[in-house]
Amino acid sequence: MGETFPVQRTCPFAPPPEYERMREQAPLVRASLPGGDVWLVTRHAAAKQVLAGTGISTNPATPGHPNWAFRPEPPTPEERAAAQEFAVGHFIDLDPPEHGRFRRLLIPEFTVRRVKELRPGIQRTVDELIDDMLAKGGEAELVEAFGLALPSLVICQLLGVPVDDREFFQARTREMLSSADGPTASHAAIMALRDYLDTLVAKAARQPKDDLLGRLIESGQLTHAELVGVTFLLLVAGHETTANMIPLSALTLLRHPAQLATLRENPDKWPMAVDELLRYHSIVDWVAFDRVAVEDQEIDGQLVRKGEGIFVLGASANRDERAFEQPDEFDVERGARHHVAFGYGVHQCLGQNLARAEMEIALRTLFERIPGLRVTVPDEELPIKSDGPIFGLKAMPVAW
C-alpha cells in the first residue's frame, strides 16, 4: 500500500506535515492512485536529478504519464485526442527537441534586460491598484483588489490586449481561477478566454506590432493554433502563481514584523526576500513537476523503470534539511536562490524573472505606501485553497 496522494495543506505557512515523514523515509516513495502507483520525489537532490534528467518525459501523451493515474480507467483514444488538440502550443508539456522550438522564440522576451524594461510599467500598475484601494476607504480584500488584478494587467500589457478589453479579460481570468461557482463556470471562462485569444491573435497577424505577440507572429515559426496555445499558456502559467503568491507573501511578512522591518530599512534585500518567499511557500508543489521515465534508470539510489510515473514534490524538496539549514524557518536573508519553486533544467520556468519583478515591486510598494496594513481576521479564519493544485488564499481582508 503506497502513500495517499495528493495531500492537502492545512496551514498557510507550511506544506502537508506528511512530507517531512516521507522525506525522512526515502528520496523516492510510492503512492497509490486509482489508475496505478507513482513515485513521489521528496528530497532536493533527487528533485533536481529528475527535473534535469534526459531519460524523463514531461509529455502527457507518453505512456505511463502520472496525470492519467488519477483516473481508475485509462483515457479513451477520443479523450487523448481532445486533450492533445487543446494543448497545442502548450510547450511545457513537450519534450526536446520540439520543446526547444518554442522556448528559443520566447527566451528573449523574458531575459533580465527585457524584464528591466517592463519594470516601470509594472510599477505604474501597482501604484494605480493601490490608489484604487486607498480611494475606496480604509479596508480592502487583497486577493481580489491586488493579488489577482496585478498579474492579469501585466499579461494584458505583454500580449497587447486593448485597454477597452481589459475589464473583460480580468473578469474571465478571475472566473477561470475561482472555485466558488464550480468547474462548469471555470470551464466556460477558459473557453471564453481561448476564443478571445483566438481573435486577438488573428487581429495581431493582420498588423503585427512590436510587442511579444507581434514578434512571435513575425518569426513565422508558429501556426495560428500554436500562437493561441502559447498565449493561453502564458496567461495561465504567469497569472495564478503570482496572484496567489502576492497575498500569501504579504501575510507572511505581516506575521514576521522584524523581518519586514529589515526590508523597510534595507530595500536592496527585497530580491533575496522574494526568493525566500518562493522557497518557503512552494505553492505549485507537484502539479508542474509531473514526469514519466522513458528508460530504466537509478534516481538517488532508487531504480525507476521505463513507463513509471513520477511527481516531484517541490514543497518537500524546498524544505529539505539536506539543502537548507533550518528549512522550516522563514528568513528573508537566507539566500535561497537554489530552490526549485521554478523547477530546474530545461523546463525551468521561462517567466521567473518577470514573476520575481512583479512580486518585488508589488510587496515593496504595498508596505511603503500602506505602512499600517493589517489583516482583519485571525489566521485560522482565512479561507485557503486546499482544493486545487496551486495553493493560496481565497480571500485576505485587510485594513490600515
**108-157 pLDDT, tens digit each:** 999 999 999 999 999 999 999 999 999 999 999 999 999 999 999 999 99
Give residue 207's domain range.
Answer: 18-399
Task: Write the CB contacts of 187 (distance below 8 Å, at least 6 apart in sequence).
Answer: none
Range name among 3-12, 18-27, 358-367 with the lowest pLDDT average: 3-12
CATH classification at residue 157: 1.10.630.10
The mean pLDDT value of the chain amounts to: 93
Q: Return phi, psi of residue 3, to 5°.
A: -65, 150
| Residue 1 within a domain | no
Residue 181 pLDDT exceeds 70: no
Mean pLDDT of 193-215: 94
Mean pLDDT of 184-205: 92
Q: Domain tally for the chain?
A: 1
For residue 194, CA distances in Å to 100, 176, 189, 277 come to 24, 11, 9, 32
| Residue 306 within a domain | yes
Task: Give the per-residue pLDDT at 225.
Answer: 96
Task: Give the per-residue pLDDT at 176.
Answer: 79
Q: At what angle do helices 98-106 and 212-219 cross, to 10 degrees?
A: 130
Task: Give the per-residue pLDDT at 180.
Answer: 59
C-alpha cell at 59: 509529455
| Residue 6 within a domain | no
Quote the CA–CA distance of 232 and 238 in Å, as a whole number. 10
Q: One-letter amino acid identity for 19? A: Y
Residue 179 pLDDT exceeds 60: no
Task: Give the per-residue pLDDT at 286.
Answer: 94
Residue 178 pLDDT exceeds 70: no
Contacts by 126-135, CB closer than 8 A, 24 or more apart: 126/150, 126/361, 126/362, 126/365, 126/366, 127/365, 127/369, 129/153, 130/365, 130/366, 130/369, 130/370, 133/370, 134/369, 134/370
pLDDT in tens, 280-333: 999 999 989 999 999 999 999 999 999 999 999 999 999 999 999 999 999 999
30 membership: H or E segment, kind and range: strand 28-33
| Residue 155 within a domain | yes
User: In DSSP terms, which residues pair with 29 in a beta bridge?
Assistant: 40
Task: Write the CB contacts of 59 (distance below 8 Å, at least 6 apart in sequence).
Answer: 65, 93, 94, 95
Task: Give the per-residue pLDDT at 390.
Answer: 87
Could you tell me whether strands 36-41 and 309-312 are parallel, antiparallel, or unpaired per DSSP bridges? parallel
Q: Whose CA is closest to 327, among 43, 48, 51?
A: 43
CB atoms within 10 A of CB 377: 12
Cα 244–chain centre separation: 8
Q: Return phi, psi of residue 59, to 5°.
A: -75, 120
Quote the CA–CA distance of 2 and 20 in Å, as a whole number. 16
Residue 205 pLDDT exceeds 60: yes
Quote the CA–CA distance of 277 and 271 in Å, as a whole number. 10
Range name among 118-122, 188-192, 256-260, 365-369 with the lowest pLDDT average: 188-192
C-alpha cell at 166: 481589459
Tally of CA atoms within 13 A in the half-sphere of 144 that contains its CB: 10
180 vs 186, which has greater pLDDT?
Answer: 186
Could you tell me whether strands 297-299 and 302-304 are parallel, antiparallel, or unpaired per DSSP bridges? antiparallel
| Residue 313 within a domain | yes
| Residue 2 within a domain | no
Q: Return phi, psi of residue 53, to 5°.
A: -70, 145
Residue 387 pLDDT exceeds 80: no
Task: Give the per-residue pLDDT at 238.
Answer: 83
| Residue 265 within a domain | yes
Mean pLDDT of 220-228: 97
Task: Give the per-residue pLDDT at 363.
Answer: 98
